[in-house]
Amino acid sequence: MALTADEGSDESLLGLLPRLTAPALLISGGYDPLTSPEQREAFRQASPRHRLIEVTGAGHFAHADDPLKYASAVSDFVRSAAGDLSGTPAGPVRATGS
């Protein structure tokens, strides 16, 4: 409630996205009521280094709704970004678990 009570909570920060210099990952659920299509598109257009992944059956908390898909997406992104930054290619790592 403190977040929504703050007057600045409605201020859009989308204009700051192009200033990010590092690769960024946005994981959004297919049923995410909080991340709008406009926000997803602004993220995608801000940099070719940004990566947007949709977890089809998830809501806003994709990490809880589909933890293996979430972990795999984060792992693949980190390895890819590390390879881009170091110049050494890195392949995907599959998430495992029960």
Domain coordinates in residue numbering, the chain:
30-88
- Which tokens go with 1? 């409630």
Exposed, middle or buried by CB within 10 Å (0-12, 13-18, 19+), for 70? Answer: buried
Are residues 35 and 28 in contact, defined by beta-carbon separation less than 8 angstroms? Answer: yes
pTM score? 0.72
pLDDT digits (tens, 9 = 90+) for 5-43: 666 666 788 888 888 888 999 999 999 999 999 999 999
pLDDT bucket at 98, cuts 50 / 70 / 90: very low
